[in-house]
Structure 1
Amino acid sequence: MKCPFCSNDNTRVIDSRPADDNYSIRRRRLCDECGKRFTTYEKVETIPLIVIKKDDNREQYDRAKLEAGVLRACHKRPVSVKQISQLIDDVEVEIFNREEKEIPSNVIGEMVMDKLKDIDAVAYVRFASVYREFKDVNTFMNELKKMLNQ
């Protein structure tokens, strides 16, 4: 592992433990050259997952895109980064437990909305408005009414 500070190849692991999500390993490393410490995370490589988009295009699953959408929905809301990360971890576990090579984007969107609903109602409505492509105020109001009735 290269040191991010001096780019030296000689680094060593000084501590190793499961990460908070229990699906990866957190390693503390020490650079033999500059003496600085840094952290790396090791994750099991999974089978490539293809997402089938609404227009039937296919693209490889990208956690960063999912995270960006959830972050946008939670902007200026009392939702912590830890909650967002946990939500995405939970969705990924559900997705990969299906053991399918392709998954429609609407299935992922429904999983996210289901979990967001429990975390923050406003973030849920924001995500739903983009995901379900609300065309007008009536569609928006119908979704709010559904949520209030639950």
Structure 2
Amino acid sequence: MKCPFCGSQDTSVIDSRPADDNTSIRRRRSCPECGKRFTTYEKVETIPLIVIKKDNNREPYDRTKIEKGVLIACRKRPVSAAQISKVVDEIETEIFSLEEKEIPSTRIGEIVMEHLENVDPVAYVRFASVYREFKDVNTFMDELKRVLDK
């Protein structure tokens, strides 16, 4: 691993342990050239995932789009940053556990809604209203009734 401070190619691992999310390894490293220490994270490389959009265009999977949607849905709600990060990790884990090379964006939206419904009902309805493109108040009310009946 190349030292980010001096560029030396000869760094050594001091300590390794699972990261907080338990899906990666946190390594403390030391550079014998400059004496500085730094942290790296090692994560399993996943197969490239292609998202099939509603208009049949294809684009590479982008985690930040899920994060952005969840953040907007949870805005001004009692959902902590840690909860948001955890739910995005869970969503991503579920998506990649499908072991598909291509996945429709509609399936990703359904997975996001399933997880948001467990986190915060208001955030769920907000996300659903945009994702399902509610056309009128009646559609919105139908979804609210479904949530309240649970």
Q: TM-score range by the shorter chain?
A: 0.7 to 0.9
User: Which segments of structure 1 move beyond 4 Å, counting only runs of 4 or more?
Assistant: 31-36
Q: Quick check: 2:77–2:123 contact (8 Å CA) kept in 1?
A: yes
d(CA) in 2 for partners of 1:102 and 1:24? 24
Report the more deviating stretch, 71-80 or 109-118.
71-80
- Aligned 1:111-150 pairs, distance under 5 A: 111-150=111-150
Q: Quick check: 1:50–1:58 contact (8 Å CA) kept in 2?
A: yes
Q: Quick check: 2:6–2:34 contact (8 Å CA) kept in 1?
A: no
Can you give the 5+ residue segments of structure 2 that lack an aligned partner in the other structure?
Answer: none
Q: Pick closer, same or farther for the CA change 1:136–1:2 going to 2, 3 Å.
A: farther
Q: Which residue pairs with 2:7 in the alignment?
A: 8
* Cα deviation code 1:22-58 (max 9, x no counterpart): 2111122334455544332111111111111111111
What fraction of aligned residue pairs are identical, expressed as a percent? 73
Q: Quick check: 2:13–2:29 contact (8 Å CA) kept in 1?
A: yes
The one-letter amino acid paired with 1:8 is G
d(CA) in 2 for partners of 1:138 and 1:47? 42
* Cα deviation code 1:37-94 (max 9, x no counterpart): 4332111111111111111111111111111111111112221222222212222222
d(CA) in 2 for partners of 1:101 and 1:55? 18
Following superposition, the deviation at residue 7 of structure 1 comes to: 5.0
Aligned pair count reads 149
Q: Quick check: 1:31–1:37 contact (8 Å CA) kept in 2?
A: yes
Q: Quick check: 1:8–1:31 contact (8 Å CA) kept in 2?
A: no
What SS does the aligned partner of 1:70 have? helix
Can you give the 5+ residue segments of structure 1 that lack an aligned partner in the other structure?
Answer: none
d(CA) in 1 for partners of 2:137 and 2:35? 59
d(CA) in 1 for partners of 2:74 and 2:35? 39
Q: Quick check: 1:27–1:39 contact (8 Å CA) kept in 2?
A: yes
